[in-house]
Amino acid sequence: MQIHELPRRPNRNLDHIPGDYGLPVIGHTYSLLRNSHKMGKHMLDTYGPVFRSSALFQRTVGLVGPDAARFVLLEGEKNFAAEPAWNLIIGGLFQGGLLLKDFGEHRSHRRALQQAFKRPVLEAYCNSLNYYLDEGINSWPVDTHFDLFPRLKGLLLENAIQSFFGEDPDCDTQALSRAFIDMLDATLTLVRKPLPGTKWRRGMAGREVIKSYLKSQIQLRKANPGNDFLSSLCTASDEEGRLTDDEIIDHMIFLIFAAHDTTTSTLSSATRILCQHSHWQTRLRQSFAAVQGEYLSMDDFAALPELDWFFREVLRMHPPVPGITRRTVREVEYGGYTLPANASVFVSIRLMHYLPEHWTNPETFDPERFSPERAEHKRNSFQWLPFGGGAHKCLGLHFAEMQTKIFLFQLLRKFSVALDPKHAPQIRAVPLEMPKNGLHIALKPL
């Protein structure tokens, strides 16, 4: 079957696979939204690493473990499509994005987008990231408790618009940020029609605002390119993969989507963990003595192994994207079961990061598990998977790494950070891991 022939709704015929569909109509939706990790672990412990379940009005096959991930993302990759699975979640709003393409078309667009993520381009972003993050952090209150979460979210969105779209003194960053927030809000709504007063309608209107801004910028960037993602795509040669103006617009809009909530989640988790394990503030700060000057460059990373272990452990314990969703393109065998064509499949990243057969004391925060002496993540190349793997592996992983490390450097070289004891932090895991009621902290100048 061709992908475009797959019915929109996934195959419901999964009764031959162990598992259960939960309550009538709502299935396991309530348990999923309440505590997705507990629900997944219960299914794994009860039925094993291949199980059927139902949530959010959809039947799905859950697959757990590095071997399952390798099978779906690499070895049996031709049997699994991303577009039909992701389209249900972000189609319409983020149409034309890279995750909404598969196989040959996906390969050629990915090659074109890779221009924007090459080392020299990333190095150029490094300077502006240092500047914007330092400036943003310096604008936050000190010696008083405040909710960091909305400030972090705002800072990262403005920062993404500046890094991705480039310098434009006339750009109304606030208006573009609002348009993006409307689009992000619309991804969470069940009403996916542009009815008056709905979030969907606001989201689609937001898309038009950003589209028309990008349209006005493309000719300017072609004539006078800068050090930004948009310029890289506008100036690509045929060999590198030239995209049409409409394709560039679709990709730029998707890039901000892919970057924004994931990096907000990562920096929120990293800050919360710094507060909960405050000796790591001291340890990282001491390691920063190896850096000359006030900006962290990509060349400095090699001299800061502890920063790397910290970054990896944050993403192991709190992967922003809880798992990878796909649709089978044809009937496929896995683990002794037949997955029918057009079945929805979910590979849980979070469950994998807590499997005791792959990680020592997985519930314990222990960055040194990534040290060369222990290197637990090397036991299986698919057991640490915050950025996915295979054909759709995150294109922005080096950008995300750079941004997180620069944020921690700029924060810790000037401040210590502590939680507000009146607001115990809570986390929601779905659709992406985020603080539930804000992230209340205090910054103390050193």
Cα 199 → chain centroid: 22
β-pairing, 58-63 with 344-348?
Answer: parallel
Q: Does 37 bind ligand HEM (CB under 6 A)?
A: no
Of 435, 109, 35, which Cα lies nearest the Cα of 271? 435
* Region binding ligand HEM by CB under 6 A among candidate stretches 132-140, 203-211, 214-222, 393-401: 393-401
What's the min distance (Å) between Cβ of 320 and ligand HEM? 4
- Binding residue (CB under 6 A) for ligand HEM from 31, 53, 54, 262: 262
Query: Rule CB under 6 A: is residue 14 a binding residue for ligand HEM?
Result: no
**Residue 143, by phi and psi: left (phi above 0), alpha (psi -120 to 50) or beta?**
left
Report the alpha-carbon distance of residue 245 to residue 301 in Å, rounded: 36
Rounded to the nearest 10 degrees, how much is the dihedral formed by the CA atoms of 268, 270, 275, 276? 110
In DSSP terms, which residues pair with 59 in a beta bridge?
Answer: 54
d(CA 431, CA 428) in angstroms, rounded, equals 8
Among residues 73, 113, 159, which one has the least CA distance to residue 334?
A: 73
Taking the C-alpha atoms of residue 434 and residue 430, their distance in angstroms, rounded to an integer, is: 8
Q: How far is the CB of 348 from ligand HEM (least distance, A)?
A: 12
Question: Which of the ranges 231-239, 261-269, 294-302, 304-312 carries the binding residues for ligand HEM, by CB under 6 A?
Answer: 261-269
Task: Candidates 53, 263, 268, 269: give the one binding ligand HEM (CB under 6 A).
Answer: 263
* C-beta atoms surrounding 30 within 10 Å: 13
Q: Which stretch binds ligand HEM (CB under 6 A): 23-31, 36-44, 240-248, 262-270?
A: 262-270
* Contact status: 399 vs ligand HEM (CB under 6 A): yes
Closest to 168 measured CA to CA, from 236, 114, 216: 216
* CB nearer to ligand HEM: pick between 202 and 392: 392
**Could you tell me how many residues of this chain bind ligand HEM (CB under 6 A)?**
22
* Cis peptide preceding 431, ω within 30 of 0: yes
Site string for ligand HEM, 160-199 (x = CB under 6 A): ----------------------------------------
Nearer to ligand HEM (CB atom), residue 31 or residue 263: 263
Q: Which stretch binds ligand HEM (CB under 6 A): 48-56, 143-151, 251-259, 283-291?
A: 251-259
Q: For residue 320, state whether it binds ligand HEM (rule: CB under 6 A).
A: yes
Residue 68 in contact with ligand HEM, rule: CB under 6 A: no
Angle formed at CA 189 by CA 184 and CA 192, multiple of 5 degrees:
105
Give residues in contact with ligand HEM (CB under 6 A). Answer: 82, 98-99, 110, 255, 258-259, 262-263, 266, 320-321, 324, 386-388, 392, 394-396, 399-400
